[in-house]
């Protein structure tokens, strides 16, 4: 048998290895940002076009590279950050494998401009598919500018697996936020197709969080601090009442490196035990500082997973630290004995003498002494003449009691102050439905009984109604006496701007749309004012997780998300009229048997099936 094992060509090996490091444009952003941070940059600018598929450019003001270093940086396993195997256990830098630039250069067209502080001119290198096409001197500022064009141009199959621009942009923003949150002392800018998405100045941790997620985030944060021999914990957790329906704002940083850890996430969730609503997730931004020798970060190509020496102790410390912070915020009274400036004496009263109150007493007053002149008393007398004509106040009042017939016709105001959920003219005389466990509506059929899930049924009704309203623009709005002003992050505001027209067709009226806030003056008639913020947050979360490609699917997703948020929930008590209304409207729908998420809306039990239960 002839020999069949052979070495792969370098360019093929590079492309295979690149698949581990570069999965999508966001992977390129992450690696290049980490290189810029390792180069001690204080300002980093990110420019992307077409969600990074056409171009990714990272510009930093770091230390730059010499001519030799610039050429060596694209060689596989060439790095300045480790020199021996022992260095792997005391890493303080972001990158260390020497694979990032080599992997990127294998699957894209790369242009590098760099200059260090000792060189008079810089170097420009152009590489396509791991092959250097040109290298020459150029005039450039100190630092590095690297441009990555046409990602996966030489691997069409990989390029076809990329998602839509909206999905890829979401991944890029996620990676950008993770790096920016870990390094608030560095200024970051992000531009997409000429639009500025983020402009983050140098600041502290709390202000960086607020700059990324909106000004309203500041009031939701509870500080967490703990210092032990094993770990130093700092950062913030969100207040329980601001917990979200998605896991979006959950960040762990170990030695300024973003990590994913289900085990530590469980510790945070355990600390919130009993404080959160069902299916709600807390927000947290936690920074852990540990001895580099006690962790291993070289277990995954993306370096987002870390192995700890003593995970159990870390779990206990983290949970107790968060519980302590939440206890201070929720339960324990805090006494501050420091001077409060609000209690100080005003400046103009500081040198003024206090006025001693005086009490005047008539020592000659005799209550038994007969007055010679009524209407006039001794000095200081407390006597007062009665008011004249007081009898006229009671004129016109009849003493007769009300007749019994009149009492029978007296109408009292109803105790029910809230209106009915549905407007219906049907009589409640014939009650053919009843509610089971405040979750199901049970109705009778000729062949048996019908059991309907009230939430899914109402979701289907609203879904078809919203689709119709969005299509023909026939929705009705209720105007608000005082407009609502809601705050969102810049990315969420961008998404809100994209769906603004569709939302207006469902009944929303927007007074203004600014950089990080929106003012709403009208809402659909089926929702209350208190539900608007939660409804829009859920809608934006759905858009992020299922980001659509075209207008039809966006409309469909919008209708599904709004219907789910506006529908009656399980556990809500419905009167007979409302039950009848849901049943009648459900079977007027085009697809009454399935909810918008393709789940069963009702089940039927025939008489034969019931008979078998009693056999």
Same-domain pairing of 14 and 133 = yes
| Domain match, 526 and 548 both | yes
Q: Are 283 and 301 in contact (CB under 8 A)?
A: no
* 342 located within any domain: no
160 and 283 housed in the same domain: no
What is the 8-class DSSP label of residue 506? H
Q: Domain boundary residue among 183, 200, 217?
A: 200
pLDDT at 242: 82
Indicate if 143 and 261 belong to the same structural domain: no
pLDDT recorded at residue 113? 93
Q: Do β-strands 433-436 and 307-308 pair in parallel, antiparallel, or remain unpaired?
A: unpaired
- 196 and 227 fall within a common domain: no
Structural domain boundaries, residue 279: 205-330
Strand-pairing partners, residue 453, are 440
158 and 226 assigned to the same domain: no
The model's pTM: 0.67
- 200, 230, 248 — which closes off a domain? 200
Interior/surface letters 92-104, b for 16+ CB within 10 angstroms, e for the rest: eebbbbbbbbbbb
Of 549, 534, 488, 535, nearest in space to 507 by CA: 535
Note the pLDDT tens digit of each residue in 582-610.
Answer: 988 898 888 888 888 888 999 998 888 88
Q: Yes or no: say if 226 and 260 are a contact pair by the CB < 8 Å rule.
A: no
Instruction: Tell me the C-alpha distance between 378 and 243, whole Å.
Output: 73
Residues 160, 218 within the same domain: no
Q: What's 181-209 look like in SS3?
A: HHCCCCEEEEEECCEEEEEECCCCHHHHH
The pair of structure tokens assigned to 56 is 């990714």
More reliable by pLDDT, 83 or 251: 251
Whether the per-residue pLDDT at 44 is higher than 90: the answer is yes
Task: Say if residue 55 is in the same domain as residue 160.
Answer: yes
3-state secondary structure of 216: helix
List, for residues 454-467, the tens digit of each pLDDT value: 999 999 998 888 88
The distance in angstroms from the start CA to the end CA of the chain is 73
Mean pLDDT, residues 134-160: 89
| Four-CA torsion 490, 492, 497, 501, nearest 10 degrees | -160
- What is the CATH classification number for the domain harbouring 218? 3.30.230.10
Has residue 117 got a pLDDT over 80? yes
445 & 547 share domain: yes
Strand 131-138 to strand 122-128: parallel, antiparallel, or no bridges (unpaired)? antiparallel
- Tell me the mean pLDDT in the region 10-23: 71
Instruction: Tell me how many domains the chain contains.
Output: 3
Closest CA to 70 of 154, 166, 143, 177: 143
Residues 481 and 586 in one domain: yes
Q: 515 phi and psi, to 5 degrees?
A: -65, -40
SS (H, E, C) 97-146: CCCHHHHHHHCCEEEEEEECCCCCCEEEEEEECCEEEEEEEECCCCEEEE
**Does residue 381 lie in a domain region?**
no
Are 254 and 273 in a shared domain?
Answer: yes
User: Whole-angstrom Cα distance, residue 421 to residue 453?
Assistant: 17
Classify 427 as helix, strand or coil.
Answer: coil
pLDDT digits (tens, 9 = 90+) for 166-209: 788 888 998 999 999 999 999 999 999 888 888 999 999 999 99
Whether 375 is in a domain gets the answer: no
Contacts of 299 (CB under 8 A, 6+ apart): 305, 306, 307
Q: Is position 304 within any domain?
A: yes
In a domain, 175, yes or no: yes
Contact 272, 303 (CB under 8 A): no
Name the β-bridge partners of 433. Answer: 443
pLDDT tens per residue across span 348-371: 666 777 777 778 788 888 878 766
458/562 same-domain check: yes
Express each pLDDT in 248-285 by its tens digit. Answer: 788 999 888 888 888 899 999 999 888 887 778 889 99
Residue 289 placed within a domain = yes
294, burial (CB in 10 Å: exposed 0-12, middle 13-18, buried 19+): middle
**Position 4 in a domain:** no
Torsional class of 205: left (φ above 0), alpha (ψ -120 to 50), beta (otherwise):
alpha
Q: Nearest-5° angle of CA 606, CA 608, CA 612?
A: 120
Average pLDDT, the chain: 80
Final residue of a domain: which of 306, 330, 354? 330
């Amino acid at each position: 048998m002839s020999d069949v094992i052979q070495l792969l060509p370098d360019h093929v090996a590079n492309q295979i290895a690149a698949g581990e490091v570069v999965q999508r444009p966001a992977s390129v952003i992450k690696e290049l940002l980490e290189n810029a941070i390792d180069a001690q940059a204080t300002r980093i600018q990110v420019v992307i076009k077409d969600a990074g598929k056409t171009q990714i450019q990272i510009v930093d003001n770091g230390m730059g590279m010499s001519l030799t270093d610039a050429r060596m940086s694209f060689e596989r396993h060439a790095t300045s950050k480790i020199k021996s195997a022992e260095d792997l256990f005391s890493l303080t830098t972001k990158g260390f494998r020497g694979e990032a630039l080599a992997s990127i250069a294998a699957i894209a067209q790369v242009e590098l401009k760099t200059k260090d502080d000792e060189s008079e001119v810089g170097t420009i290198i152009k590489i396509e598919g791991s092959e250097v096409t040109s290298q020459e001197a150029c005039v450039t500022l100190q630092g590095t500018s690297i441009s990555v064009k046409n990602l996966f141009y030489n691997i069409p199959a990989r390029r076809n697996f990329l998602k839509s621009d909206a999905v890829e942009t979401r991944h890029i923003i996620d990676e950008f936020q993770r790096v920016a949150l870990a390094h608030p002392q560095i200024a970051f800018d992000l531009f997409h197709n000429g639009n500025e998405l983020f402009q983050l100045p140098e600041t502290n941790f709390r202000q960086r969080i607020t700059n990324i997620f909106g000004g309203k985030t500041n009031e939701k944060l509870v500080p967490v601090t703990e210092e032990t021999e094993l770990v130093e914990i700092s950062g913030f957790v969100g207040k329980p009442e601001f917990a979200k329906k998605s896991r979006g704002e959950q960040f762990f940083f170990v030695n300024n490196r973003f990590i994913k850890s289900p085990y530590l996430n469980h510790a945070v969730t355990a600390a919130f035990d009993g404080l959160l609503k069902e299916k709600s997730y807390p927000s947290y931004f936690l920074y852990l500082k540990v001895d580099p020798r006690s962790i291993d970060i070289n277990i995954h190509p993306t370096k987002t997973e870390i192995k700890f020496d003593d995970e159990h102790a870390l779990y206990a410390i983290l949970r107790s630290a968060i519980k302590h912070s939440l206890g201070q915020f929720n339960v324990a009274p805090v006494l501050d004995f420091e001077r409060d400036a609000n209690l100080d004496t005003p400046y103009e009263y500081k040198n003024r003498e206090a006025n001693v109150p005086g009490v005047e007493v008539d020592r000659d007053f005799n209550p038994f002494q007969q007055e010679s002149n009524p209407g006039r008393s001794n000095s200081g007398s407390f006597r007062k003449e009665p008011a004249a004509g007081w009898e006229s106040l009671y004129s016109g009042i009849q003493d007769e009691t009300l007749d019994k017939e009149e009492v029978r016709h007296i109408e009292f105001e109803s105790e029910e102050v809230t209106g009915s959920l549905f407007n219906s003219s049907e009589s409640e005389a014939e009650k053919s439905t009843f509610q089971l466990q405040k979750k199901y509506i049970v109705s009778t059929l000729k062949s048996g009984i019908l059991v309907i899930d009230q939430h899914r049924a109402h979701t289907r009704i609203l879904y078809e109604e919203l689709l119709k309203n969005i299509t023909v623009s026939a929705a009705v709005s209720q105007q608000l006496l005082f407009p609502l002003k809601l705050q969102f992050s810049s990315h969420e505001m961008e998404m809100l701007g994209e769906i603004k027209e569709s939302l207006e067709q469902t009944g929303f009226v927007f007074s203004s749309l600014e950089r990080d806030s929106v003012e709403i003056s009208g809402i659909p008639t089926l929702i209350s004012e208190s539900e608007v913020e939660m409804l829009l947050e859920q809608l934006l979360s759905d858009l992020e997780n299922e980001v659509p490609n075209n207008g039809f699917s966006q409309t469909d997703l919008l209708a599904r998300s709004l219907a789910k948020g506006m529908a009656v929930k399980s556990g809500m008590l419905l009167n007979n009229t409302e039950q009848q209304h849901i049943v009648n409207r459900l079977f007027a729908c085009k697809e009454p048997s399935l909810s918008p998420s393709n789940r069963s809306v009702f089940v039927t039990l025939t008489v034969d099936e019931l008979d078998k239960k009693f056999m």
